Structure 1
Amino acid sequence: MSNPDPTSPSEPVVDSAELFQDPYAVYGRLREEGPVHRITGTDGLPAWLVTRYDDVRRALADPRLSLDKRNATPGGYRGMALPPALDANLLNMDPPDHTRIRRMVTKVFTPRHVEGLRVPIRRAADRLLDSLAGQDEADLIPSYAAPLPITVICDLLGVPQAQRPDFRAWTDALVAPDPTRPERAREAVGRLLSFFTRLIADKRTRPADDLLSALIAVRDEEDRLSEDELMSLAFLILVAGYENTVHLIGNAVAALLAHPDQLAALRADAGLLDRAVEELARYDGPVPLAIRRFPTEDIVIGGATVPAGETVLLSLAAAHRDPRRFTDPDRLDLGRDATGHLALGHGIHYCLGAPLARMETGIALTALFDRFPGLSLAVPPQDLRRRPSMRSRGLLALPVRTADRPGRTGRGASVG
């Protein structure tokens, strides 16, 4: 990311490696230099970066900032090319289509539906932890943080057990692409499209007690959802519900293990769990930047005039560490009232799956620290490797020691 000022076109503002490893320091510097920056993104295209909490929060709810790519300046946006059957999703829509589809989802994805997943999620977590029993060391990303959300998504969508290994492999290839083999992500998109086509046809013939069957019933009975919109909705539930939750769980565990005093406080008071999940989402959430937006008219953000159609990037990472909103924001404090954090969005695009993500994370932490009260990092916190991505903040690996070591203390009450 660099400053496109023509007087110094090569002067770097951000080192990409530093940005990927510690976006908080990078975005923090920019935030204190000014609320809005004209930058060049890693895709080589210009964008406007918004860094301060109040500006970011207002922008997230501003109806003049469109998610519809058709409102972008021609040639001013590059993103993954998806087939129309997967691209007609809520992250590319504005009202009234967004309102119509979101209302249909909330009609079937109710709080009662989410609460009904609590026991299955805990069972899935316990099964995964059973497989780690007897191991002194483990990598919690592939063994716990990743398989737990995909299990939940498969249960939610009604993916048959026999098809889940392939489903997870295609999903992994899509959300964590190998930069040396870009064709694998494209192949995964095609396979997922074929998979969802078959799954939807099967659910129409043999509906079950799952979210996808319920959405199909609403679509077919009320005829208010196109086939592409239905397909795209299933795809969005998969991608958003999987990738973000993996990173939320992984980042939360890493943060707690790097702050043993906070972990001890949580273990001593299970009543802190809900507040802890909010603070962990603020402190090191899975999404450093909200999805790009395009002004439908010239607008002023943080004193800067942003022309219609240009790309606007809202830095959640900078907003969450803004001292104007959060006292001592670089400190993890599970007792903090983190209400108002933006990790799950704000406004009409607030995450539909937020209650499920919160519940999954709380259960994942409770089950993990109940099973392994002496859990510790196997490497120093600064040596944890992050995914090289501006779009998401996640760990490539989370190596831990599951057994107590001589001289280690910290056993306490159950987290939950």
Structure 2
Amino acid sequence: MSCPVHHSAGSGATETIVLDPLVGDLAGEGRALLAAGPIARVELPGGVPALAVTHHAEARRLLNDPRLVKDVRAWGAWQRGEISQDWPLIGLAAPPRSMLTVDGAEHRRLRAKTAQALTPRRVQLLRPGIERITAKLLDGLSAQPAGRPVDLKALFAYPLPMAVVSELMGIDPADQPKLRELYDEFFNTQTPPARVPAMLEELHDIFARTVAGKRARPGDDLTSALIGADEGGEPLTDDEVTNTLQLMVTAGHETTIALINNAVRGLLANPDQKARVRGGEIPWETVVEETLRWSSPTSHVLIRFATEDIPVGDQVIPKGEGLITSYVAIGWDEAQHGPDAERFDITRPTPIRHMSFGHGPHVCPGAPLSRLEGAVALPALFERFPDLTLAVPDGELRHRPNVTQNDLYELPVLLHGPTA
């Protein structure tokens, strides 16, 4: 690929924090961003310069600021031709037009269609299916050879949300293995640039084929509901349904994988807290919320663009600049969460107010589903395997090369604790 030209972000920040494409030290990166904030100058993989908001209060304001838009055409680097189509993060910075990438009336129209289809009642009706899928996966874990480490991500944390979101959206189960392969490439900063356009086309083709099938043979699924949604203006076109479907599947499984993985890590590192939640003293919903705050499923969200100069304290986000939201830092902001913000603690005396699903007009519409999956999966997992332990020290767990998702390669565990 042709890398963009480096230039000063003009924010008043002096140090550029290079986001590690291999994610060798996510916690250390979050601390550095927090210290450099509230607006930090960063470099994305491929040498792409941007700014990052890293403090809770400023992020809350900026995510509601109409001067920051999702339309990539407002990005100065894009206008100057500095961002190539084979940039590994192009699918996240400039994805197909959907409610994620538009603003104003167009965003409200697309969001209204999704809200009409993804109602709270539809989400709650998924609970029996989530319980069924969870039980099946736990049966599979129970059948693993005793005493051997198993990868909880591969056998539980990944297949659960993928199966749930596929069932919700009406995705053919036969497409799930290919989707996993493509999403591994989609989020990976090490995907060869020459592979990026073909990978994006293959993803689009799966979802376009799904939409065509549902238009011909509607079912009791969200894709069919999106096709038939009649509120908020004109019906969605096939392209709009396809892009919305792709957005929902992309966001709908990745966040829940990390939520389950990180909740397990937090509880296993704090056995006293695990005992209190398993004893019913603290609800599992609190575990979900503290996990989302402490180790956000999304490390950095790409990318909003300033349509005019935006003052932030004594700094300025210049017109045309790209701004990412660094949830890895925001969740540890002591001004919001107290001096022990880095600690996993489900006994916090104050309400856990985080923004890990976003804030403002673009808040994640799938957040209730992810929360529900966590609240079903986690108690079932620890009920089946109360002596579950990590098979390696937590410090040896490795992050995948993914600057946007808090994603582990694997989560090796012993289901019944260490053998004597």
- TM value normalised by structure 2: 0.87
In the alignment of these two chains, the number of paired residues is: 399
Report percent identity of matched pairs. 36
SS in structure 1 of the partner of residue 302 of structure 2:
coil
The CA deviation at 1:398 is 0.3
Structural mapping, 1:15-414, within 5 Å? 20-73=23-76, 74-75=79-80, 80-81=89-90, 87-133=96-142, 134-135=144-145, 136=147, 137-175=149-187, 177=188, 179=190, 181=192, 186-218=197-229, 223-269=234-280, 271-327=282-338, 328-336=340-348, 337-405=350-418
Tell me the distance in 2 between the aligned counterparts of 1:278 and 1:335.
Answer: 12
How far, CA to CA, are the matches of 2:38 and 2:206 in structure 1? 44
Q: Output the aligned Cα RMSD.
A: 2.8
Aligned partners of 1:316 and 1:343 also within 8 Å: yes
Structure 1 position 325, deviation (Å): 0.8
Provide, for residues 12-56 of structure 1, a one-character-per-residue CA deviation record: whole Å limited to 9, x for no partner.
854655982433333323433442223333331222222221111
Q: Take 2:48 and 2:325, find their aligned partners in 1: how far apart are those partners?
A: 16
Paired AA for residue 116 in structure 2: K
- The one-letter code of the counterpart of 1:43 is G
Match of 1:20, SS state, is coil
- The secondary structure found in structure 2 opposite 1:214 is helix
- Per-residue displacement from partner, 1:179-234 (whole Å, max 9, x unpaired)? 26555554443233222222222212211111001111126996332322111001
CA separation of 1:97/1:103 partners in 2, compared to 1, >3 Å: closer, same or farther?
A: same
For 2:3, the equivalent position in structure 1 comes to none
- Single out whichever of 234-243 and 257-266 deviates more from structure 2: 257-266
C-alpha contact (below 8 Å) 2:56/2:333 kept by paired residues: yes
- Structure 2: give runs of 5+ residues left out of the alignment: 1-5
2:344 is paired with a residue of what secondary structure?
coil
The CA deviation string for residues 57-80 of structure 1, in whole angstroms up to 9 with x for no partner, is 111111111111011102465654
Secondary structure at 1:388 match in 2: coil
2:42 alignment partner, SS class: strand
With over 3 angstroms needed to count, the CA separation of the structure-2 counterparts of 1:263 and 1:183, relative to structure 1, is farther
1:159 maps to a residue whose letter is I
Cα distance in 1 between the residues matched to 2:381 and 2:136? 11
Q: Secondary structure at the match of 1:92?
A: coil
**Structure 1: distance between partners of 2:211 and 2:53:** 40
1:243-292 deviation per Cα after TM superposition (whole angstroms, max 9, x unaligned): 22212221221222222222222212264211111011000011122331
Matched residue type, 2:138: L
The answer to whether the Cα contact below 8 Å between 1:251 and 1:394 also exists between their aligned partners in 2 is: no
1:366 deviates by 1.2
Counterpart for residue 410 of structure 1: none
Deviation of the 1:406 alpha carbon = 5.3
Which ranges in structure 1 are unaligned for 5 or more consecutive residues? Answer: 408-416
Q: Name the CA distance, whole Å, in 2 between partners of 1:114 and 1:306.
A: 38
Counterpart CA distance in 1 for 2:163 and 2:300 is 26
Tell me by how many angstroms 1:342 deviates: 0.8
Moved more, 367-376 or 132-141: 132-141
Counterparts in 2 of 1:281 and 1:270: CA distance versus 1, 3 Å:
same
How far the C-alpha of 1:124 sits from its partner, in A, is 0.5
The DSSP-based 3-state class of the residue aligned with 2:337 is: coil
Residues 86 and 40 (structure 1 numbering): CA distance in 2 closer, same or farther, change over 3 Å? closer
